[in-house]
Amino acid sequence: MKFRILFFFAFLVLLPQFAEAQCSMCRAVLESDTDQSAAEGINNGILYLMAFPYLLVGGLGYFIYRSRKKAKKSE
């Protein structure tokens, strides 16, 4: 069971490495250019902006977990 959870967590962590986050319009414009550095920069920027909501939700979840654990311990 722990192996399955570990595998799932590793899959979720490595998934953004394979993601292509460009919309079809951005992709069409950026693929027409011969220099692919702009396309990579746009893709990295989209992935960077996508990470912040996950960090905020994770931080909120950790705060709730910690406060519940502290309340349980004080009882």
| pLDDT, tens digit, 9 for 90 and up, residues 14-63 | 766 666 655 677 767 777 767 777 777 877 888 888 888 899 999 999 99
Residue in the structure block whose two tokens are 């992709």 = 27
Verdict on whether the full-model pTM lies above 0.75: no
Listed residue (22, 15, 19) closest to 36, CA to CA = 22
DSSP state of 1: -
Domain coordinates in residue numbering, the chain:
21-74
d(CA 41, CA 60): 30
Short-list 38, 20, 21, 19, CA closest to 30: 38
